[in-house]
Amino acid sequence: MSIIRQIYYFLRLGRPLFLFGGILLHGLGVLIALSIGEPLNLAAFIWGQVAITSFQLMTHYSNDYFDLAADKANPTPTRWSGGSRILPDGLINPRIALITAIVSGVIGLFAAFWLALVIQTGPLTLPLLLIALILAWSYSSPPLQLNMHGLGELSGAFLITGLTPLVGYYLHAGRLDLLPFLAVFSLCCFQFAMLLAINFPDADGDAAAGKHTLLYFLGETKTVRLYLVVLLAAYLALPVLVLLGLPPIAALALFALSPLAAWQAWRMAHGAWADLDRWDSLGFWSVGLLIASVIAELLAFSWIFFRGDSGMTG
């Protein structure tokens, strides 16, 4: 195998497309801080992204390494589930994935200490990023292996759509206010629902490898009901979130995507979860709802920022 092809497979193993989600979510947290008048700290922004992207890469490489048995046993992978397929197909030595995961984690940890001790972004910088590191590693890696014990969906939603924007906000505001928590609530619901949806194609392989997701514990019918309830909660909560301080334009931006969520809910309720031919589409639009919602909030807080007098520093 040529070195160029090995590099290609190595990069695919890191699932680079998903890294854009971390960039968008970190950017959302930063933008929320800017929208209330906090100045842009370019050094904090860059090093914060280094930490977040490093932890993402650590998760991607470690997930494929420790989920190898389940991925090998999975007869129905899709573009959004079942791993990158690089390791099950024997295209790269699995130890390369493990080593890369460890190196990525070390880089992220270095960035966390740099933010806390050199840039001095606040006393919660290190605790927040250490929590992110622990959750990112523990998603599929020992000793906790959260995604094997029905906790992967909850931890993934909290880490990706909750903690990532909170880190971006904190690195610029130097405090944790209620506003970023309000802004990420619906996003956490969409991430949780997406993780539920992509469990269906992996169910047989997961069961064969002893990987117990929420689908294993709840069964198909209750998992579908939970998916529907979580999507509904994301929108029913919007009036309450506005009363608590979420800008109405942010709530309207999220609500504008409710037809897509309703369509997804209708498909799930009418058996898309059991139709192999619709699994890829179900995963795609679950991811699409999440990313579109993040972009909608980015646009809303950009509008607030550009209407205000927020300052900027380097």
pLDDT digits (tens, 9 = 90+) for 215-230: 999 999 999 999 999 9
CATH code of the domain covering residue 180? 1.10.357.140
Contact residues for 135 (Cβ-Cβ < 8 A; gap 6+): 146, 155, 158, 159, 163
pLDDT at 81: 80
Task: Give the pLDDT band of residue 236 (cuts 50, 70, 90).
Answer: very high
Tell me, yes or no, whether 112 lies in a domain.
yes
- The per-residue pLDDT for range 288-297, each reduced to its tens digit, is 999 999 999 9
pLDDT at 244: 98
Lowest pLDDT segment from 22-26, 56-60, 193-197, 198-202: 198-202
In the chain, the number of structural domains is 1
* pLDDT at residue 80 is higher than 80: no
In degrees and rounded to multiples of 5, residue 149 shows phi and psi of -130, 25
Which whole number is the average pLDDT over 60-79? Answer: 88
pLDDT at 312: 38
Tell me, yes or no, whether 272 lies in a domain.
yes
Tell me, yes or no, whether 194 lies in a domain.
yes
Contact residues for 70 (Cβ-Cβ < 8 A; gap 6+): 202, 205, 206, 208, 209, 211
CA dist., res. 218 & res. 179, Å (int):
33
Task: Give the pLDDT band of residue 1 (cuts 50, 70, 90).
Answer: low
Tell me, yes or no, whether 192 lies in a domain.
yes
- The per-residue pLDDT for range 132-155, each reduced to its tens digit, is 999 999 999 999 999 999 999 999
CB 88 within 8 A of CB 19: no
- The per-residue pLDDT for range 158-188, each reduced to its tens digit, is 999 999 999 999 999 999 999 999 999 999 9
- The per-residue pLDDT for range 268-314, each reduced to its tens digit, is 999 999 999 899 999 999 999 999 999 999 999 999 999 874 433 33
Tell me, yes or no, whether 20 lies in a domain.
no
Question: Exposed e or buried b for every residue in 169-195, given b needs 16+ CB within 10 A?
Answer: bbbbbbeeeebbbbbbbbbbbbbbbbb
The number of residues in the chain equals 314
pLDDT at 85: 85
Range of the domain at 79: 25-309
Which whole number is the average pLDDT over 28-34? Answer: 98
Tell me, yes or no, whether 18 lies in a domain.
no
pLDDT at 311: 38
For 28, the token pair is 């959302």
pLDDT at 139: 94
Which whole number is the average pLDDT over 42-62? Answer: 97
pLDDT, mean over the chain: 93
Which whole number is the average pLDDT over 58-64? Answer: 95
The tally of CA atoms less than 13 A away on the side-chain side of residue 168 is 32
Tell me, yes or no, whether 267 lies in a domain.
yes
- Give the residue among 132, 215, 139, 202 at the shortest CA–CA distance from 167: 132
pLDDT at 79: 79
